[in-house]
Homo-oligomer: A and B are copies of this chain.
Amino acid sequence: MVNFLKATKIDKTTEADILAAAKKVFIARGMYGARMQDIADEAGINKALLHYYFKNKEQLFEQIFMDAAAQLFPRINMIFTSDNSLFEKIESFCEEYITVVQENPYLPLFVLNEMNRDPVYFIKKLWQKHSGPDPRKFLEQIEAEVKKGNIRHVSPLHLLMNLLSMTIFPFMARPMFQQFVGLDEMQFRMAMEQRKKEIPAFIINAMKR
């Protein structure tokens, strides 16, 4: 019987609380730095109940990591699969990606960090969940533009690296950039907002012939 009169929270709500708490703690401190006690505290429950919902730390972590990765990778895949023109892809990617990461600024560092810990394992897990991105279309598209004479010769691989680097890296290196140039939180946020237009403009200029 469903206990709809119960005062305390029930399963799905508690589970959601735990996942939200775990996300916060894992992303802030990583797999090793995170403490089950901290996650329980953050979720407003105790450790025993935490283990009731998730058998062990590793299992909980994997779910958080996969969710985090799922917020980042499909948007990269978008570059590869969409039917837009090259310039449109670059523009919409910067716009969308920076918007997402502004709201989750620690996601990229978290994901890349854990990926590097055990690349083989995580990539296997990731690619079996979301079908692996296939960059062939994107690479061919660049070659075609070069052939048509619309852009100067650029290496597709390096263009891809440049695009992703300029979009993602500043969030991972925020403390460094803030210190270098003396930006407060608000100024940094504004700079990232500018980059939605700045990066595409930069790339387009670099590709002009």
Contact = CB atoms under 8 A, between A and B. Distances in A.
Interface residues of A, number: 53
Given A112-B109, A175-B116, A180-B135, A155 B194 contact: yes
A202 B158 contact: yes
Contacts of A198: 155, 158
B194 A202 contact: no
A191 interface: yes
Interface of A: 29-33, 106, 109, 112-113, 115-117, 119, 122-123, 127, 132-133, 135, 152, 154-155, 157-158, 160-162, 164-166, 168-170, 172-177, 179-181, 191, 194-195, 198-199, 202-203, 205-208
A169 B164 contact: yes
Contacts of A135: 180-181
Contacts of A174: 116
A180 B134 CA distance: 7
Given A119-B175, A176-B115, A181-B135, A161 B155 contact: no
Given A123-B179, A135-B181, A164-B169, 12 more contacts: A112-B172, A115-B175, A115-B176, A127-B179, A152-B205, A154-B202, A157-B181, A158-B195, A160-B177, A160-B181, A165-B170, A205-B208
A164 B199 CA distance: 14
A22 B194 CA distance: 41
A164 B123 CA distance: 26
Contact of A30 (B32, B115, B127, B155): B32
Contacts of A123: 175, 179
Nearest to A28: B117
Given A135-B181, A179-B127, A202 B169 contact: no
A161 B157 contact: no
Task: Name the residue among A32, A154, A174 with the largest chain B CB count within 10 angstroms.
Answer: A32
A28 to B, nearest CB: 8
A104 B109 CA distance: 19
